[in-house]
């Protein structure tokens, strides 16, 4: 089956929804596709049907903001098709799949608003049940009102862990500590005053609430090992130096049943890479991001990336970028002229310039440092899907592998169901260390469809449709 759209949007989080609303307001009806069962993305994740969550639970803010955005979208006449996997992207066409149904969506303009996922950083025991990403624990709590464990340790860097720690404590879990890698000085935080009072106040609020509960924020500490048999039973923590290397002799062991890892986010760039737009290595993220102009347009005219998929900046930036991209797409479609675009987008563009300043500061504080990779022991699993350890990877690098493609051919890393999302950033680092290349010079996996697993029956349906 072939469908057509003037504007296709992938992702129904803040960026995708804001884009669809802005486009609709100037007369462009977008087709919005989302992999999740409900719109809202991760930050605005809504409770499932059949649930009603009391506003006093302390998780209402994001859900309420999300509800408002979804209401705006409904009022504007935006409809979202949920549960759709977009597994291939070419200039002018997306390949979609839902259950056994497969179809091609031909588009004039495209906005990718695919968001981000938590940066996976291996250490011994990180595959044990009970070791989660902080965002995963948060979504379980926010959307399902289920608390992941009873004695919880959070480790990583950035504000998410502070938020999740408070939410877990609200839910009755015993939060042992938040281990924060960074030791930002007050001077690092000052530039935030330039544009994000609200965020600064929020941050101080989280810290204050943790202090009130006597939950320590241990700055300059991190987790170096999770121990347990069937699931995690204890965590080894250590102090780190300025490059985040664990300091020998500083180790302590904590009895825990749950570990939350929040080491920052990585943009989901599978589709923007697959489609062939230009990308650049962003050292502050330790990953590749699409090259976009100030209107979120990639190197391919009419193809846009908005929100965290273009670099990690959070929901406030995502909303504004989505709006700018939606209006710009309408301009590309000839529905508004450049003058009207400028008038409509002016406020969002001004906000983005303001928000950009504090983003640079956060990037500097949380830039991943090489010391984190020193936690990796020979037995540490790097590729979780194919169960490939660091010693296997290092042996192939010693034997001459210089790129991700070669490692994949030799070890099957990146060939599992996650398609390299979990292992590739670590493999780039190991290759850089082992070969002396700069991370940006390590040849990455070439993205190949399907970027998400789909049933063969869906492919067959598509094949048959092509011959009809």
Partner 1 sequence: MAELRLVNGVRRGKTFDIILDGQALLAYEGETVAAVILASGRRLLRLTRKRGEPRSVFCNIGVCYECRMVIDGSPNVRACQTRASPGMVVNTQHGLGEDDIA
Specify the stretch interacting with partner 1 by CB under 8 A; choose among 138-146, 369-377, 394-402, 439-447.
138-146
Shortest Cβ 402–partner 1 spacing (Å)? 26
Shortest Cβ 311–partner 1 spacing (Å)? 18
Specify the stretch interacting with partner 1 by CB under 8 A; choose among 102-110, 178-186, 370-378, 416-424.
416-424
Residue of 25, 29, 47, 441 that binds partner 1 (CB under 8 A):
47
Measured torsion, CA atoms of residues 276, 277, 281, 284, in degrees rounded to the nearest 10: -130
Specify the stretch interacting with partner 1 by CB under 8 A; choose among 15-23, 134-142, 242-250, 330-338.
134-142
The three-point CA angle 315-319-325 to 5° equals 135
Q: What is the DSSP letter of 332?
A: H
User: Applying CB under 8 A, does 309 fall inside the site for partner 1?
Assistant: no
Residues with Cβ within 8 Å of 38's Cβ and at least 6 positions away in sequence, in order, are 45, 46, 48, 82
Shortest Cβ 111–partner 1 spacing (Å)? 21
Considering the complex, state which of residue 135 and residue 246 has its C-beta at the smaller distance from partner 1: 135
Determine contact, residues 382/390, Cβ cutoff 8 Å.
Answer: yes
Site for partner 1 in 164-203 (CB under 8 A): 171-174
Q: What is the DSSP letter of 245?
A: P
Specify the stretch interacting with partner 1 by CB under 8 A; choose among 113-121, 182-190, 196-204, 205-213.
113-121
Shortest Cβ 193–partner 1 spacing (Å)? 33
User: Applying CB under 8 A, does 136 fall inside the site for partner 1?
Assistant: yes
154 DSSP β-pair partners: 178, 260
User: Applying CB under 8 A, does 230 fall inside the site for partner 1?
Assistant: yes
Q: Which two tokens stand for residue 33?
A: 């596709």
- How many whole angstroms separate alpha carbon 432 and alpha carbon 427? 8
32 DSSP β-pair partners: 9, 80
Shortest Cβ 422–partner 1 spacing (Å)? 5
- How many whole angstroms separate alpha carbon 124 and alpha carbon 19? 42
Instruction: Print the binding letters for residues 385-404 with partner 1: x by CB under 8 A, - otherwise.
Output: x-x-----------------
Class of residue 71 by CB neighbours under 10 A (exposed 0-12, middle 13-18, buried 19+)? exposed
Residues with Cβ within 8 Å of 257's Cβ and at least 6 positions away in sequence, in order, are 130, 149, 150, 151, 152, 231, 232, 233
Shortest Cβ 219–partner 1 spacing (Å)? 26
Shortest Cβ 344–partner 1 spacing (Å)? 33
Specify the stretch interacting with partner 1 by CB under 8 A; choose among 2-10, 135-143, 210-218, 459-467.
135-143
- Dump the DSSP string for 156-189: ESSHHHHHHHHHHHHTT-EEEEEEE-----HHHH
Residue of 319, 418, 431, 451 that binds partner 1 (CB under 8 A):
418
Specify the stretch interacting with partner 1 by CB under 8 A; choose among 122-130, 286-294, 425-433, 458-466.
122-130
- How many whole angstroms separate alpha carbon 134 and alpha carbon 254? 18
Considering the complex, state which of residue 139 and residue 250 has its C-beta at the smaller distance from partner 1: 139
Cis peptide before 353 (omega within 30 of 0): no
Nearest to 422 by CA among 303, 261, 187: 261
Shortest Cβ 30–partner 1 spacing (Å)? 23
User: Applying CB under 8 A, does 133 fall inside the site for partner 1?
Assistant: yes
Residue of 36, 250, 299, 437 that binds partner 1 (CB under 8 A):
36
Residue 149: helix, strand or coil by DSSP?
coil
Considering the complex, state which of residue 140 and residue 200 has its C-beta at the smaller distance from partner 1: 140
Shortest Cβ 179–partner 1 spacing (Å)? 19
Residue of 13, 14, 40, 130 that binds partner 1 (CB under 8 A):
130
Q: How far, in Å, are 115, 148, 308, 392 from residue 133 at the CA level?
A: 16, 11, 17, 25
- How many whole angstroms separate alpha carbon 410 and alpha carbon 413? 8
User: Applying CB under 8 A, does 51 fall inside the site for partner 1?
Assistant: yes
Contact residues for partner 1 (CB under 8 A)? 35-37, 42, 47-54, 56-57, 117-118, 120, 127-133, 135-137, 139-140, 144-150, 171-174, 230-231, 268, 384-385, 387, 416-418, 421-422, 453
């Amino acid at each position: 089956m072939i469908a057509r759209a003037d504007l296709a949007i992938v992702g129904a989080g803040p960026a995708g929804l804001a884009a669809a609303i802005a486009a609709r307001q100037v007369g462009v009806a977008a087709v919005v596709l989302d992999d999740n069962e409900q719109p809202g993305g991760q930050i605005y994740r809504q409770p499932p049907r059949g649930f009603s969550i009391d506003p006093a639970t302390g998780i209402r803010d994001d859900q309420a903001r999300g509800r408002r955005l979804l209401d705006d979208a409904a009022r504007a006449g935006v409809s979202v098709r949920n549960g759709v996997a977009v597994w291939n992207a070419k200039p002018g066409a997306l390949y979609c799949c839902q259950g056994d149904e497969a179809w091609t969506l031909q588009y004039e303009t495209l906005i990718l608003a695919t968001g981000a996922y938590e940066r996976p950083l291996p250490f011994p025991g990180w595959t044990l049940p009970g070791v989660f990403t902080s965002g995963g624990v948060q979504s379980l709590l926010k959307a399902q009102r289920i608390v992941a464990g009873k004695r919880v340790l959070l480790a990583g860097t950035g504000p998410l862990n502070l938020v999740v720690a408070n939410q877990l404590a609200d839910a009755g879990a015993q939060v042992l500590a938040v281990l924060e890698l960074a030791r930002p000085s007050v001077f690092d935080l000052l530039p935030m005053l330039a544009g994000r009072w609200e965020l600064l106040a929020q941050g101080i609020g989280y810290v204050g609430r943790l202090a009130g509960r006597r939950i320590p924020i241990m700055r300059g500490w991190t987790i170096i090992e999770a121990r347990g048999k069937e699931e995690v039973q204890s965590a080894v923590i250590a102090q780190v130096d300025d490059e985040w290397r664990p300091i020998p002799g500083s180790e302590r062991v904590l009895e825990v049943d749950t570990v939350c890892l929040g080491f920052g986010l990585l943009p989901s760039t599978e589709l923007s890479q697959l489609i062939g737009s230009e990308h650049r290595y962003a050292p502050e993220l330790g990953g590749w991001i699409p090259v976009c102009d100030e209107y979120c347009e990639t190197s391919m005219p009419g193809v846009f990336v908005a929100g965290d998929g273009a670099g990690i900046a959070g929901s406030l930036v995502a909303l504004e970028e989505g709006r700018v991209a939606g209006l710009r797409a309408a301009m590309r479609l000839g529905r508004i002229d450049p003058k009207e675009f400028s008038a409509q987008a002016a406020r969002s563009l001004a906000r983005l310039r303001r928000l950009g300043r504090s983003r640079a500061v956060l990037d500097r504080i949380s830039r991943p440092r090489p010391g984190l990779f020193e936690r990796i022991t020979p037995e540490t699993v790097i590729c979780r899907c194919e169960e490939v350890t660091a010693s296997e990877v290092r042996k192939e690098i010693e034997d001459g592998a210089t790129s991700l493609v070669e490692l994949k051919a030799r070890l099957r890393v990146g060939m599992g169901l996650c398609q390299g999302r979990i292992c590739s950033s670590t493999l780039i680092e190991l290759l850089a260390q082992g070969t002396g290349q700069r991370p940006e010079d390590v040849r990455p996996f070439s993205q190949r469809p399907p970027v998400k697993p789909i049933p063969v029956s869906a492919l067959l349906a598509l094949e048959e449709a092509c011959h009809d």
